[in-house]
């Protein structure tokens, strides 16, 4: 019984660590204007350059929203696994206290 809770605790901690690492890893590259696009606006009038920059930034926001939502979801799921690990740790502590109080259970 203790082994099962210890294995569950280690599995939950492993999954929480994996998902938290996945959320902070550079799996996706956020989109941003390339230097070519920036230099292309240098020859435009100020109003036209601001218009083009605004359109480009709105386009990149739409593409980057997916990546941000994915990373936030990964952190939330990692938090759920960590809560599961805390529950396993609490159950393991209770079992150890019971074992210390009454001794080993006869087979």
For residue 53, give both structure tokens: 């920059």
In terms of pLDDT, which residue wins out, 91 or 43?
91
Region of 103 please: left (phi>0), alpha (psi -120 to 50) or beta.
left
Q: What is the pLDDT of residue 12?
A: 96
pLDDT tens-digit series, residues 5-54: 899 999 999 999 999 998 888 877 777 777 787 778 888 888 998 888 88
Number of H helices, E strands in the chain: 3, 0
For 61, the token pair is 């926001």
């Amino acid at each position: 019984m203790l082994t099962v809770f210890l294995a569950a605790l280690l599995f939950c901690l492993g999954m929480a660590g994996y998902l938290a690492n996945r959320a902070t890893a550079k799996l996706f590259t956020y989109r941003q204007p390339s230097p070519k696009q920036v230099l292309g606006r240098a020859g435009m009038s100020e109003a036209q350059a601001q218009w083009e920059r605004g359109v480009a930034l709105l386009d990149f926001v739409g593409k980057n929203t997916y990546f941000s939502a994915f990373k936030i979801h990964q952190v939330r799921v990692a938090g759920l696994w960590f809560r599961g690990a805390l529950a396993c740790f609490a159950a393991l502590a209770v079992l150890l206290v019971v074992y210390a109080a009454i001794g080993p259970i006869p087979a």
